[in-house]
Amino acid sequence: MPLFINRDQIFAHQVHLLEHKLRSKEERILELETENALLHLRLAECLGRLRRDQEGQQEAQRQCQLRRSSQKSAHLSLGKLLAEVQVLKRDLREVFAVYLSFARELETQSKELLERTAVLSSTVQSQHGDHAESEYRNVPSRANMATTPRVSTAP
């Protein structure tokens, strides 16, 4: 039996196959475009997170540098303060040494003055005692005073 091959049918079948193949490829293109769009969205999300992380890291670095500079400044200030305190302590020790020296000298001078006062006091008492005795001898008795006229020394 002879087979009749109809060219129109073959062309129609080939067109149908090509149309089906074209639709499949268009669907695949749409799938790939959708996947590409999703990948772009993910990339944008990742870039956003990366940018936020970098900004956070930069802020943390700024805070760290600020803390370091503050610590350095505080360290320098404390060093200066320590040096000033040491100078003050040295000056205070010197003042205390002068005070002790002054106190010892004052104590020594006080003892010497006390000894001189005691010597002078005893000398005065002994002289006063001698003088009192001589005055007692020179003083007339009460009976003599009543009869003795008083001499005025007023002008």
- Residue 142 belongs to a domain: no
End-to-end CA, the chain: 197
Residues 17-49: pLDDT tens digits?
999 999 999 999 999 999 999 999 999 999 999
Give the pLDDT score at 1: 45
Domain assignment present for residue 55? The answer is yes
Per the domain annotation, does 140 fall within a domain? Answer: no
Give just the sign of the alpha carbon dihedral 71, 76, 82, 88.
Answer: negative
Instruction: Say if 148 falls within a structural domain.
Output: no
**DSSP one-letter code for 139:** S
pLDDT band at 82 (very low <50, low <70, confident <90, very high): very high
Does any domain span residue 23? yes
Q: What's the rounded mean pLDDT across residues 52-81? A: 95
pTM higher than 0.75, yes or no?
A: no
Residue 13 located in a structural domain: yes
Q: Cα–Cα distance between 36 and 100 in angstroms, integer?
A: 93
Range of the structural domain that residue 93 is part of: 8-134
The pLDDT tens digits for 120-142 are 999 988 887 776 566 656 655 55
- What would the two tokens of residue 82 be? 């320590």
pLDDT, mean over the chain: 86
Does residue 86 sit within a domain? yes
Asked if residue 146 belongs to a domain, the reply is: no
Count how many domains the chain has.
Answer: 1
Task: Please state the rounded mean pLDDT for residues 77-97.
Answer: 95
